C-alpha cells in the first residue's frame, strides 16, 4: 500500500521543530517494552527484503533504520526541516517515508526492476549502477532516486531547505498498511498546510496505478 503527497509552496523558513519533537514522543511510546524488529510493520518489510534475496539485518527498510538509531540515541538526526518531519512521522508510525525534490526528477518516476543501466548518486558523491532486477525508483532520464525499494535514497533528488516542490512516498506491507499509510499522509499534510504549504494526495493499492504529480491544492 502506497500513499503519496505532492507538497508545494514550501516556505523558505519552515519551522517544524515542535511537531518533530511531538512525533519523537510517539516513537518512544511505540518502542516502549519492545524493539523495532517486533513491530508488525517492520516484520513485513523484513519478510519482503528476504524474498528479494536481501539479508534483513544488513538491509533494513528506512523506518527500521530510523527506529534503531532512535532507540540507541534517544533522538532522530536533523537535516532539512521537511526531511526531519518525514523522519519523525516515519518513526512514530514505523512506516517508511521518502521525500524527493520534484524539480530534480526528470519526467515520470517509476518503481520497478532496474535494467542495470540506471545511475545512482550516493551522498558521498559516488556514481553507482544498480544491479539488473534490483527494485529502484527511476526517472525518465535513467536516474535511480532510490535503491532496494525503501532502503536508500539518492543525493540526486535529496530535499534541501531550498526545495520548493516535494514528492512524499509512504509505503507499508503489513495487515494494517492502508490505515497506517493514510494516517501518516494525513498527519504530514495537516502539519505542512498549517505552515502555508499546499498539498495534493493520492493512494495506490496493490502496487498498481499511477499518481499525477501536477499542481497541489
Decide if 212 is inside a domain.
no
Task: State the total domains in the chain.
Answer: 1
The model's confidence at residue 14, banded by pLDDT at 50, 70 and 90, is confident
Decide if 124 is inside a domain.
yes
Strands (E) across the chain are located at: 2-8, 97-101, 110-113, 120-121, 127-128, 135-138, 144-147, 152-153, 165-171, 198-204
Cell of 65: 533504520
CATH code, domain carrying 151:
3.50.40.10
Q: Which residue range is the domain that position 145 belongs to?
A: 2-204
> Would you say residue 207 has pLDDT above 60?
no
Percentage of the chain exceeding pLDDT 70: 96
Residues 6+ apart with CB under 8 A from 118: 129, 130, 136, 138, 142, 143, 144
| Buried/exposed 171-204: b ≥16 CB within 10 Å, e otherwise | bbbbeebeebbbbbbebbbebbeebebbbbbeeb
- Cβ-in-10-Å burial (0-12, 13-18, 19+) of 73 comes to exposed
**What is the structure's pLDDT at 78?**
93
The model's confidence at residue 149, banded by pLDDT at 50, 70 and 90, is confident
**What is the structure's pLDDT at 161?**
87
Residue pair 16/216 in contact (Cβ under 8 Å)? The answer is no
> For the whole model, what pTM was predicted?
0.93
Residues 6+ apart with CB under 8 A from 16: 81, 82, 84, 85, 191, 195
Cell of 25: 514522543
Decide if 217 is inside a domain.
no
Decide if 186 is inside a domain.
yes
Decide if 31 is inside a domain.
yes
Percentage of the chain exceeding pLDDT 90: 82
pLDDT in tens, 45-81: 999 999 989 998 999 999 999 999 999 999 999 999 9
Mean pLDDT of 99-127: 96
Q: Residue 144's closest CA among 170, 115, 108, 118?
A: 118
Any idea which residue has 545511475 for its cell? 119
The model's confidence at residue 217, banded by pLDDT at 50, 70 and 90, is very low
**What is the structure's pLDDT at 48?**
93
> Would you say residue 180 has pLDDT above 90?
yes
> Would you say residue 12 has pLDDT above 90?
no
Decide if 151 is inside a domain.
yes
**What average pLDDT is seen over the chain?**
93
Pairwise pLDDT comparison (9 vs 79), residue with the higher score: 79
DSSP one-letter string for 83-103: HHHHHHHHHHHT--EEEEEGG
Decide if 209 is inside a domain.
no
Mean pLDDT of 86-110: 96
Decide if 14 is inside a domain.
yes
Amino acid at each position: 500500500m502506497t500513499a503519496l503527497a505532492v507538497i508545494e509552496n514550501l516556505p523558505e523558513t519552515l519551522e517544524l521543530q515542535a511537531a518533530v519533537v511531538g512525533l519523537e514522543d510517539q516513537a518512544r511510546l511505540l518502542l516502549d517494552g519492545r524493539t523495532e524488529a517486533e513491530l508488525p510493520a517492520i516484520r513485513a518489510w523484513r519478510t519482503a527484503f528476504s524474498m528479494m534475496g536481501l539479508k534483513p539485518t544488513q538491509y533494513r527498510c528506512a523506518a527500521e533504520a530510523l527506529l534503531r538509531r532512535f532507540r540507541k540515541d534517544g533522538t532522530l538526526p536533523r537535516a532539512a526541516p521537511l526531511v526531519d518531519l518525514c523522519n519523525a512521522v516515519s518513526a512514530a508510525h514505523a512506516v517508511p517515508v521518502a521525500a524527493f525534490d520534484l524539480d530534480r526528477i526528470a519526467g515520470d518516476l517509476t518503481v520497478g526492476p532496474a535494467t542495470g543501466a540506471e545511475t545512482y548518486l550516493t551522498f558521498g558523491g559516488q556514481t553507482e549502477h544498480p544491479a539488473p532486477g534490483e527494485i529502484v525508483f527511476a526517472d525518465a532520464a535513467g536516474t535511480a532516486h532510490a535503491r532496494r525499494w525503501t532502503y536508500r535514497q539518492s543525493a540526486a533528488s535529496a530535499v534541501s531547505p531550498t526545495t520548493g516542490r516535494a514528492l512524499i512516498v509512504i509505503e507499508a506491507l503489513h495487515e494494517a498498511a492502508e490505515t497506517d499509510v493514510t494516517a501518516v499522509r494525513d498527519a504530514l499534510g495537516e502539519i505542512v498546510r498549517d505552515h502555508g504549504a499546499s498539498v495534493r494526495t493520492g493512494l495506490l493499492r496493490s502496487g498498481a496505478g499511477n499518481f499525477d504529480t501536477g499542481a497541489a491544492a
